[in-house]
Amino acid sequence: MMKQKEANPREPIFHIVKRDAIVWWKAWLIRAAAIVAALLVSAVLTVFLTGENPLDVFSSLIDGAIGTSRRFWFLIQNTAMLLCVALAVTPAFKMKFWNIGAEGQALIGGMATAACMIQLGDKLPYGVLLPLMFIASVLAGSIWALIPALFKAKWNTNETLFTLMMNYIAIQIVSFFASEWAVPKGSGKIGVINGDTQAGWLPVIGNQKYLLSVITVAVITVIMYIYLKYSKQGYEISVVGESQNTARYVGISVKKVIIRTMIISGAICGIAGFLLVAGADHTITRDTVAGRGFTAIMVSWLAKFNPLYMVLTSLLIVFLERGAVQISTSCGLNDSFSEIITGIIIFFIIGCEFFLNYSIKFRDKEADKQ
Amino acid sequence: MIATFIHRAVMQGIPLLFGSTGEIITEKSGNLNLGIPGIMYVGGISGVIGAFLYEHNLAGDPNPFLIIAIPLLSSLLGSLVMGLIYCFLTVTLRANQNVTGLALTTFGVGIGNFFGGSLIKLVDTDMPSITLSKTSSYFSKTFPFADNLGWFGEIFLSYSFLAYSAIIIALLASYIIKNTRAGLNLRAVGENPATADAAGINVNRYKYFATCIGSMVAGLGGLYYVMDYACGIWSNDAFGDRGWLAIALVIFAVWRPNISIIGSILFGGLFIIHNYFENLGMSAQELFKMAPYIVTLIVLIIVSMRNKKENQPPESLGLSYFREER
């Protein structure tokens, strides 16, 4: 394709053809090959930096991810949270609305939860407080997503940049309240909210702190799968994503779909914020969402916007992240090692998509000889 | 007082100016590179690694040429590699630009913090940061006579060579984009690659060159931040969200590097203005830090409402170009 200026003027050495469809096992083979290649590169890098035996490195990766029951649950909880945010961005992305504001939407949802816990924790009974927190988070998240959607629908304002800015406004709002309600005053940190009364903490079921969050996310996953695949609204989202002109032609109101979908997207982000604050951290800082809003985009995109595949992709990313953290502690490396590994893996998976969509045809050797 | 404020606003603004100039050059080719924050980290840390190796293998006095050239070249090289990764994935392999850019940011920030953390271990100190005072003293040299000229010297002459090059690069980029054949072709590629292709412009080559040059310019922002603004001290995550602010500045400047000179100083001022209000509580300071983002949002909204042709983002921004799919 790019070598057309070579000596042979008749035909380039290879050219690229778009594939119509690829057999499912071939697609998975290519993806698996990409992951293996990425792991090899990461292993070479790790061995180069630490000088350790590569097998030890991999065993400490697995140990870090699922070595103990505590680590295992931490892995599951982290996967569930990442999955929840990924589910939230999916309908928007399917509509080709580049919502990179999930970070802010989830954070503002978490902020709403924390605000209810702090302000109403000792005033309302548990049975009222918890639903109220949930509703507040969902509302906060959807409003945060609705604002860019309205501008997009009305004036076609660039949503990527708009949602990006909304992230930082949310972060500053959280910083503001964190220092306003700081305990002790002046520390700039809220600390564990209602540590003594546990008011507004998500109930512990089955002796597992995170089980309820995980179940909630599982339910959202199934609902989202059905919504996108079988509902009329889900179909409208795909049509708008494929071609806005087609959508208008068949009588779909593009504005309405954009606004409705973003409200859903923001609402699920709000739930993620609620689960993070009420179910896990019991506090809020500007880092509560911890970049999940951005990682979630990669999770959703790698899974081709299919909620069921997203379980796998989010598990893969969190697994590597937790594992790489373990490698860095056991080898005395810096924590950020996991970000490098995650980056490499994603580069490879992004790159392999090309080979799923296109095939490379080399010049026919026989024809060459004639 | 006002002169000091302007001086500090400019110092804050220069990294943003480098970043936004780089991103404008990139976006003009139709590539929305959300990896800029990561690239700026890599530009910073590559310069630090170069300077670190040079300073620690140094016996006598540093050679004034090498102590500038080594960090500068390693910084350029680091950000060039990042630009190439982005191009290879989005242009050659036609991957999604948003996803690639975000992955690049994760990767770049990881590289910055990882090597920052590892170099700290090499020097065997308890300090949480690396200090490169020798290199920094060369990088932050200003005009020797600036101090004698009062407020004039403080506002206009009290910066290092990298700061002036930021402004020169921005003006140059503006000129090239607006007035030269290469700039016209570049804009054509960003607006409508299919038309550009039909007119015989090599779309991929323009995308590669613009993105790589843009990355290198942005990387210098990281270098400036460490070597001049932070006095040669690298501490992890200190660079913060400046990369995203640089992307915000692109919108503020409506895709014109010359406007982004003024914009960067304004943003720099907004960034530090909370220090200049007396009796401002800690929490109110946090609200003031929102200002640059809100200003950007307002500009973004106004630009889209007025809908003037010359103030819009490049038409095919964020879309990969497939010749076969026209």
Q: Which of B255, B300, B302, B305 to mutate to test the interface with A (most CBs of A within 10 A)?
A: B300
> How far apart are the CA of A186 and the nearest CA of chain B, in angstroms?
8
CATH of the domain at B87: 1.10.3470
- How many contacts (CB atoms, under 8 Å) link A and B? 162
- pLDDT band, very low/low/confident/very high, at A169 (cuts 50, 70, 90): very high
The answer to whether the CB of B23 falls within 8 A of the CB of B36 is: yes
How far is the CA of A93 from the CAs of A104, A261, A282, B60, in angstroms? Answer: 16, 10, 30, 58
* Residues of chain A above pLDDT 70, percent: 94
pLDDT in tens, A111-141: 999 999 988 888 888 888 999 999 999 999 9
Domain span including residue B91: 2-325
Residue A226 contacts residue A156 (beta carbons within 8 Å):
no
Best B84, B97, B98 residue to mutate vs chain A (most A CBs within 10 Å): B98
Alpha carbons within 13 angstroms on the beta-carbon side of residue A197 total 14
Closest CA to B289 of A255, A170, A344: A170
Task: Summarize pLDDT for A2-45 with one digit per residue, the tens.
Answer: 444 445 556 667 777 777 777 778 888 888 888 889 888 888 88
A310 vs A49: CA distance, rounded Å: 32
CB contact under 8 A, A165 and B107: no
Residue A66: the pLDDT is 82
Token pair for B122: 């090499």
- What CA–CA distances, in Å, run from A71 to A300, A326, A330, B268? 24, 10, 15, 43
CA distance B155 to A217: 55
Look at residues B116, B141, B115, B112 and name the one whose alpha carbon lies nearest to residue B128.
Answer: B116
- Distance, in Å, from the CA atom of A332 to the CA atom of A311, rounded to the nearest integer, reads 31
Strands B233-234 and B130-131 turn out to be antiparallel
Query: Identity (one letter) of the amino acid at A214?
Result: V
A365 backbone dihedrals φ, ψ, rounded to 5°: -65, -40
Q: Measured between alpha carbons, how far is A321 from B281 in angstroms, rounded to an integer?
A: 38
Residue of A nearest to B307 (CA): A155
The vertex-A62 CA angle with A59 and A65, nearest 5°, equals 150
Instruction: Identify the helix (H) or strand (E) that includes residue A359.
Output: strand A358-362
Least confident of A35-49, A230-244, A273-287, B67-81: A35-49
pTM of the model: 0.86
In sequence order, what are the beta bridge partners of B27?
none
Confidence (pLDDT) at A1: 46
Question: Rounded CA gap, B324 and A143, in Å?
Answer: 41
Q: Give the up-direction half-sphere exposure of residue A303: CA atoms within 13 A in the CB hemisphere.
A: 27
What is the reported pLDDT for A149? 93
Q: Write down the pLDDT at residue A364.
A: 64
- Which residues, including other chains, have CB under 8 Å from residue A314's CB and lie 6 or more apart? A79, A82, A83, A86, A296, A299
- Shortest Cα distance from B151 to chain A (angstroms)? 34
Average pLDDT over residues A34-60: 80
Kindly give the residue spans of alpha helices, DSSP state H, lying in chain A: 24-50, 54-66, 69-94, 102-120, 126-155, 159-180, 211-230, 232-242, 244-249, 254-274, 292-302, 307-330, 337-357, 365-369
Residue of A166, A291, A351 with shortest CB distance to B93 = A351
B300–A165 C-beta distance less than 8 A = yes
Are the beta carbons of A172 and B286 closer than 8 angstroms?
yes
| pLDDT on residue A5 | 45
CA A63/CA A319 separation, integer angstroms: 10
Digit-by-digit pLDDT tens for chain B (326 residues) are: 788 888 888 988 999 999 999 999 999 999 988 899 999 999 999 998 888 888 877 777 778 888 888 889 999 999 999 999 999 999 988 888 888 998 899 899 988 888 887 777 766 665 666 777 777 878 877 777 767 777 777 777 778 888 999 999 999 999 999 999 999 999 999 999 989 999 999 999 999 999 999 999 999 999 999 888 888 888 777 787 888 889 888 888 888 999 999 999 998 888 888 777 766 677 778 888 888 889 888 988 888 887 777 777 788 887 778 777 65
Cα A345 to Cα A320: distance, rounded to the nearest angstrom: 9
Q: Searching chain A, which residue's CA lies closest to the CA of residue B325?
A: A18
Round the average pLDDT of chain A to a whole number and report it: 85
Give how far Cα A144 sits from Cα of A141, A266, B251, Å: 5, 7, 21
Q: How far is B58 from chain A (nearest CA, A)?
A: 24
Q: CA of A282, closest CA in chain B: separation in Å?
A: 21
Q: Which site among A166, A175, A181, A336 would you substitute to test the B interface, given the most B Cβ atoms closer than 10 Å to its Cβ?
A: A336
Q: Do A158 and B251 touch (CB under 8 A)?
A: yes
The pLDDT assigned to B126 comes to 58
What is the total count of domains within chain B? 1
Q: Where do the H-state alpha helices sit in A16-125? A: 24-50, 54-66, 69-94, 102-120
State the pLDDT confidence band at A268, using cuts at 50, 70 and 90.
very high
Instruction: For residue range A70-82, list pLDDT tens digits in order.
Output: 888 889 999 999 9
Q: Which chain B residues have a beta carbon less than 8 Å from that of A342?
A: 106-107, 110
Contact partners, residue A276, CB within 8 Å, separation at least 6: A81, A106, A110, A288, A289
A358 to chain B: which residues are within 8 Å by CB?
Answer: 94
| CA-based nearest distance A203→chain B, Å | 32
Nearest-Cα distance to chain B for A342, in Å, is 7
Task: State pLDDT tens for residues A182-213.
Answer: 877 777 788 888 878 788 888 888 777 888 88
CA distances in angstroms from A301 to A91, A105, A189, A222, B262, listed in the order given:
11, 19, 35, 18, 37
So what's the pLDDT on residue A49? 75
Instruction: Tell me which chain A residues have a C-beta less than 8 angstroms from the C-beta of B289.
Output: 172, 175
Contacts of B55 (CB under 8 A, 6+ apart): B62, B67, B132, B134, B135
The one-letter amino acid code at B214 reads G
Predicted pLDDT at A367:
54
Assess contact for B257 and B177: CB atoms under 8 A. Answer: yes
Nearest to A162 among B85, B111, B300 (CB): B300
Q: How far apart are CA B119 and CA A103, in angstroms?
A: 31
DSSP single-letter state for residue A337: H
Most confident of A82-91, A177-186, A288-297: A82-91
Name the residue among A16, A294, A346 with its Cβ closest to that of B324.
Answer: A16
Residue range A339-344: average pLDDT? 84
